[in-house]
Structure 1
Amino acid sequence: MVSTWQPDAAMLDFDMPGASGYEVARHVRRTDSSGKRILLVAVTGEMPPHEVAAKCYSAGFDLHVAKPADVKALAEFVILGITG
């Protein structure tokens, strides 16, 4: 889907059917040949957040957000991440 749609950003939860958020992020980073880096945000309820964040960044995420997310801060990060 990413290869045909090419979104600017994607928010991924880890409890998705068929693949974990880690797997999806790794796949996106491995297969993105467009030259445009998709901003990936991990949204998780897993604890403790600092341990999950390290795994997120190593999988290719740009940001880890613990639930419940601060929507205003998240929107600002995504807008800045997309516009540079």
Structure 2
Amino acid sequence: MASHFEDARYYMGRAVEHAKAGIKEEVEPLEDRVRELTGTEKEPEPGRLEKLQGDLKELEQRAEGEAREAVENARERVTAYREQRED
């Protein structure tokens, strides 16, 4: 009996997937027409390459900031050390 429920659940899932695809297919031309009339365009989804480039840019900026902080910190330490030696 349990296998019947598992089978039914599987086929219900497939039916939902097909219904969703069918609705999307039917509504797409209408959506395009509405967008054309209102003058709004679909935003393209960023591709994998664009996402990676964005991530790399963010990492580059963060690393640059951390490097600047490290240099500033080192300069302060050197200045403090030199002042301490002069006293």
Q: What TM-score range do you get, normalising by the shorter chain?
A: under 0.3
Greater RCO between the two (CA within 8 Å, min separation 6)?
1
More strand by share: 1
Q: Which has the larger radius of gyration?
A: 2
Tell me the TM-score normalised to structure 1 length. 0.21
Tell me the TM-score normalised to structure 2 length. 0.20
